[in-house]
A and B are shown apart, each in its own frame.
Chain A
Amino acid sequence: MNVQSEHLMILAAVLFAIGVLGFLIRRNVIVVLMCIELMLNAANLTFLAASRQHSGPEGTNLVGPVFAIFVIAIAAAEAAVGLALIIALFRLRQTTEADSVQEMEG
């Protein structure tokens, strides 16, 4: 594939922006969690694009893939904890709307 690595990074930036948008405008906590996953995916794509840019014919840069593996593992852990929190919230309130949880506001 002869696509420039910058184009991969632009795609990652667009996906990250969409994730931030959804994180900000959606009220359902499950969708907010999905937007976080989207942002983590964009970060992964950036890692891989940077690794692709920095690997030449003499050798390949493996830092990007290694950190992508780390990000994937952390994303899995984050999704598990987030969904457990959502289940706990649903048991408490019978809702997943973020606006209905306002105790910390004081």
Chain B
Amino acid sequence: MAEVSFYALAALAVLFAMGVVLARSPMMSVLNLLGTFFCLATIYLLAGFQFIAAAQILVYGGAIMVLFLFVIMLLNLAELGVKAESGSGLFKGTGAKLGAAVAVATALALLITATADSLGRTAVRQRPEGIDDLEGIAAELFGRYGLPFEAISVLLLATMVAVVMLAKRQRRAGDSPAPTPSAPAKEQGR
């Protein structure tokens, strides 16, 4: 059962990945990418990496997807891309339907796998705690890999500063030659 769902999920992940590349509008690409992430998370779960699966869903499915969607909606790229590359009716109907299908399919896949995994564990295999024991990972992270771990935290801090700088600089540069009518009032208000 777990093997069958692995191969089904692998095929689904490849299909979603093809969808990322082939979709006409960026919005469809993001939805397909979300499907790929969920398929991969379920595969991690099947392979016994529970913590990595949770991190995948939280970080990729939660944070990174929200970033992508936020930027696409902020820049209004959904309409731009469709207008530039194909007819305008594509996104409205099919996009919503496919998004719903993605959501349902991923939920279904998760449910099926959770069931299969728990059935397999109680019936056939006697695995102590799964491959992915959190204590061991924590010991590795703070022991042997303490320096890379701290380097990652510094990297995240540097990223935060860099993103703030990148997002701010253009606004200040654009202010002096041609100020928008609402910008000066806002600046005084602060």
Contact = CB atoms under 8 A, between A and B. Distances in A.
Interface of A: 1-3, 7-8, 11, 14-15, 18-19, 21-22, 25-26, 28, 30-31, 33-35, 37-38, 41, 44-45, 48-49, 51-52, 55, 60, 62-63, 65-66, 68-70, 72-77, 79-81, 83-88, 90-92, 96
Contacts of A28: 26, 77, 81
B160 to A, nearest CB: 8
B185 interface: no
B43 to A, nearest CB: 7
Interface stretch (B48-56, B90-98, B100-108, B176-184): B48-56
Interface in B36-55: 36-37, 40, 43-44, 46-49, 51-52, 55
Contacts of B13: 11, 15
Contact of B156 (A51, A52, A73): A73
Nearest to B162: A81
B190 to A, nearest CB: 20
Contacts, number: 182
Interface of B: 2-3, 6-7, 10, 13-14, 17-18, 20-21, 23, 26, 29-30, 33, 36-37, 40, 43-44, 46-49, 51-52, 55-56, 59-60, 63-64, 67-68, 71-72, 74-75, 77, 80-81, 117, 120, 131-133, 136-137, 140-141, 145, 148-149, 152, 155-156, 159-160, 162-163, 166-167, 169-171, 174
B140 A66 contact: yes
